Amino acid sequence: MGRTVILTDDLGRGERLVRNLGGGPGLVLHDLYGDAEPLAGAALVISDVSALTSDAVLRLRRALVVARDRTTPFLALIHGNLGRGEIQATALGATRILPASAANTLLAKAVAALSRAESELEDGGDLRRCAEEARSAFTAIFRGDTAPAAAIVDAGTTIVNRAIRESKVRDWLNVVAGFDDGTHRHCLTVAGLAAAFAQSLGLNEADAHHLTKGALLHDIGKSKIPLAILNKPAPLTPAERVKMDRHPAIGHAMLVNGDYDAGTLAVVRSHHEYLDGSGYPDGLRAAQIPDLVRLITICDIFAALIETRPYKAPKSTREAYAILEKMGPKLDCDLVRAFRQVALACEQPSQRMSA
């Protein structure tokens, strides 16, 4: 492995880390509060910062931009409150997180694992790592009763868009399908489809980020729906369906006073609205439904159709896309036609849709 850069706010503690890792010229210390910039082109970055204040986070973010590129593993050592530290490290794009108290026994193993992961890129290791990073970010997004920090959502969005740029959406769906939590699996599936849709439509980076961010957040209201309903291994009763159908309004209420733009709020509240007015919670029609919402609604429906649920088998790509077409006036027909390219890209080798 190449050079490892250690970002620290205490050079003495950093030197002990270097000794724990065996020393040598490949281990480079960088004083987070010094004047110099860190060395660029690291093969691994480790952060060891005792107090993740807003100033420290800003300095870390700047140092990471210089020291690593989008494929460089980043190991964050957390001092103090692990839960808060995990959220901050996830927002910074950490590949792996360890409590600093365990560094002596686990650090060498973690570094070795990240070194091996670097060599797995050709075998899909990078995609799996991206998916796990996205799941970690998504877990942080769904944590607590308040709106998630915008930085965490942006970090998760960047991970998904990067994965879709560098791999096939089909492969992303295959990796995500192995996750055990149904809500996490669904939202990451929708986010991957949205990222692929943005790419297919030729959206610029900012618009693609906006679309994928909305996809990640669209079901945030489900964090307040009882698990007995969310995880029920059978169709919902009418009373349970009423509770489930509250999730768009709940999600909107969670985010409305946070640092979220009107477009994202519209996605969260209106992704179950249909152009013919038959959707919920507001019965919006046609021009009342923004394009951003229309795009994610298509991704959301397609994802639900191709996913395995405890009470139903997954539809094939061909069947799922045919259902979208048959929904006619409920969906934007032009966008459904445009989505065909994404549906084609989701095909498994055993499936073939006619061009």
> What whole-number distance in Å separates Cα of residue 355 and Cα of residue 342?
12
Give the distance between the most distant pair of CA atoms in the chain: 67
pLDDT of residue 118: 47
Q: Are residues 195 and 69 in the same domain?
A: no
Question: For the domain that residue 44 is a member of, what is the CATH number?
Answer: 3.40.50.2300
Domain boundary at 74, 93, 119, which? 119
Q: Are residues 38 and 85 in the same domain?
A: yes
Residue 350 lies in a domain: no
Domain boundary at 119, 141, 167, which? 119
pTM value is 0.66
Q: Are residues 244 and 327 in the same domain?
A: yes
Q: Are residues 185 and 322 in the same domain?
A: yes
How many structural domains are present in the chain? 2
Q: Are residues 277 and 199 in the same domain?
A: yes
Task: Spell out the per-residue pLDDT of the chain, length 355, in tens.
Answer: 468 899 999 999 989 888 877 777 888 999 999 988 888 888 888 899 988 888 888 999 999 989 887 678 888 888 877 667 777 777 788 877 777 766 555 555 555 555 544 444 344 556 777 787 777 777 777 765 667 877 778 888 888 988 888 888 998 888 888 775 777 789 999 999 999 999 999 988 889 999 999 999 999 999 889 888 888 888 899 999 999 999 999 999 999 988 889 999 999 999 999 999 999 999 999 999 999 999 999 999 999 999 987 778 889 999 999 999 999 999 999 999 999 999 999 986 655 555 4
DSSP-assigned letters across all residues of 63-111: HHHHH--TTS-EEEEE-S-HHHHHHHHHHTT-SEEEEGGGHHHHHHHHH
pLDDT of residue 287: 94
Q: Are residues 166 and 313 in the same domain?
A: yes
Q: Are residues 269 and 158 in the same domain?
A: yes
Q: Are residues 88 and 221 in the same domain?
A: no
Domain boundary at 87, 119, 151, which? 119
Helices (H), the chain: 11-20, 54-67, 82-91, 103-118, 125-141, 150-166, 169-176, 182-201, 205-217, 227-230, 238-244, 247-255, 262-270, 291-306, 317-326, 333-345
Question: For the domain that residue 194 is a member of, what is the CATH number?
Answer: 1.10.3210.10
Whether the CB-CB separation of 344 and 202 falls below 8 Å is answered with no
Residue 81 lies in a domain: yes
Q: Are residues 39 and 81 in the same domain?
A: yes
What are the CA-CA distances from residue 159 to residues 90, 138, 166, 284, 353 (Å)?
Answer: 11, 11, 11, 32, 29
Residue range(s) defining the domain that contains residue 46: 4-119
> What whole-number distance in Å separates Cα of residue 94 and Cα of residue 133?
8
Q: Are residues 64 and 147 in the same domain?
A: no
Residue 47 lies in a domain: yes
pLDDT of residue 279: 97
Residue 353 lies in a domain: no
Q: Are residues 155 and 18 in the same domain?
A: no
